[in-house]
Structure 1
Amino acid sequence: MSNKPVLQEKDCDYSILTHVNLGMRIKDVPSGWALNLFDIREFIPVLRYEKECYIRIRGIISPCRIVINPRLFYKGKPLKNHLRDLKSKDENFKVPIEIKFNKRELDASLDEFNSDNINYIDTDLLVGKSYSSKGWGLSKDVVSQLIPLKAYDFMFPVYIDNIPAETRLNMQTRLFYNSVELSKELEELSKRDSKQRVDARIIFNEEYLDLAKKFKEGYKSESKCTICGNSLDCDSKSDKCFDCLDKEITVLKLKKILEYFKPSETFNERDLLDLGYTKGQIIILINKLEKYDLISIDWDGSFQLVDETTITNFIKQWG
């Protein structure tokens, strides 16, 4: 299945355990699974690499989010037959998967990799039906700048229901945008030629946003932001000002943190680090939430999201 180097079990010092289902909605058993992000957080700290950012296509700027979906595929008829037998007895059976690895070496590789200093990445994207899906799968060239793929370029010892398995790890990485205007532009392009590709700049540092630069320099046009009514920058193809775009991307960060902590629930930096956030990402996250009065910081350094009504209203207004 792969020419990747094999990591010997004797060289492993750690393992993780997760569970997957047998595919209740399909006739046969699946050939692989998306892995539970919480279960694998010490193996693949997904939150460390998922990012809220912007994308610029044909002069249109949209908030977007990069989402990582690690998947594990296996090979071998005996294993597949075993899973079929399990499914025939109980299709609700949760199959245990154990992945072994060298945590010390893996952590060292992850610590050496730093994507926080990337300002932007230029790429090209297939138009296709991106107007409908609101996103794209990213190429390996782009993903390798965001995730330390080389750290996972091994055949790890894996046991599926206690059976040694030959497996392949896949870091499916997608970018989703949030802009009606961009969707309309892509739909028009698709009508002309859905197989064409468009140049895109994925922007992580707001200083590199043309929109932000022009806004700060004070250039104005007669066009107004469709949300707040403020003047837009000159020649902007967006119908929203930078401040409203910033609030939209804050909603993405807020929704992500709400997956782990409820409004008014206390958490701290250690909790965020355990989820896979880097210290740099925590600073950005807290600053964004503080900017819009969505979080409070207690005297001991712990955090609390504000009340549920305020959170809900912010998401409803800017999401």
Structure 2
Amino acid sequence: MSRYPDKEPECLGGDSGVIDLVIESRPRALGGFTVRRTLPATQRRQVGPFLFFDHMGPVDFAPGQGIDVRPHPHIALATITYLLEGEFVHRDSLGSEQPIRPGDVNWMVAGRGVVHSERTAPEVRARGARMHGIQTWVALPVEDEEVEPRFEHHPRPTMPVVSRPGAKLHVIAGTAYGAKAPTGVLSPTLYVHAKLDAGATLPIDEEHEERAVYVVDGAIDCDGKRFGEGAMLVLRPRAHAAVQAVGKTNLLLVGGAPLDGPRHIYWNFVASSRERIERAKADWREGRFPRIPGDDAEFIPLPEG
């Protein structure tokens, strides 16, 4: 997904034993649907390798409407797309053309540079559809920032599911609860979709140093407080934490190892050096990025300023 300048999410200082910070996502309009952005935030730039966290929708598109994210570039990061409802088609400059549906995982490593687009397929657009999902960016390790770009699509049946009392845990990327996703991560990563029944208690996996819990829908109790839809709880490192679902609830657990240094972000570009960002800006402005086969008639211009 392409990013645009926006106000950052609000943060509340944590005063509990397990919660370090609570980030309340902020809604914004993006191409006909609503995105609630949680990362980056003023007081917290990332959790593990996760630099951006956007909650898309839910939104109901009328017949004839849909998503049209025009071609745009990325460098030195990986994007993860995960849908709860709906579908759209990913295309990129590697020649990939792949529909994504609920439970599937799209993992795209930008590395030295890639261009992609996301659009609703004509047959889906004709009938109208509901869209609901999560898009995230993870920073690549410094040594991997210039790797060859690649795209992976992992269908839902290939992704591990861990069962706990009252909970189904879909491991999207990395490792958690004794399971490992096939997603080709390049650093220790935690990314789990947890579906909880009302009253279910879920201990948060303690394998990874940095962890956060995001409430997609429903509500949870944690450390004596209640948190609803759109709240991200950043946990203290290695804290023994558990959450209890107030009703039927969907959560996402994100995190991993701390980054190996600061990252600079401008628009859709992420890098460990400002010089690399400037080079990417010039390359996009002057048309040096590769084009998307079958979707090269338009593009998103570089924001100025």
Q: TM-score, normalised by structure 1?
A: 0.26
More strand by share: 2
More helix by share: 1
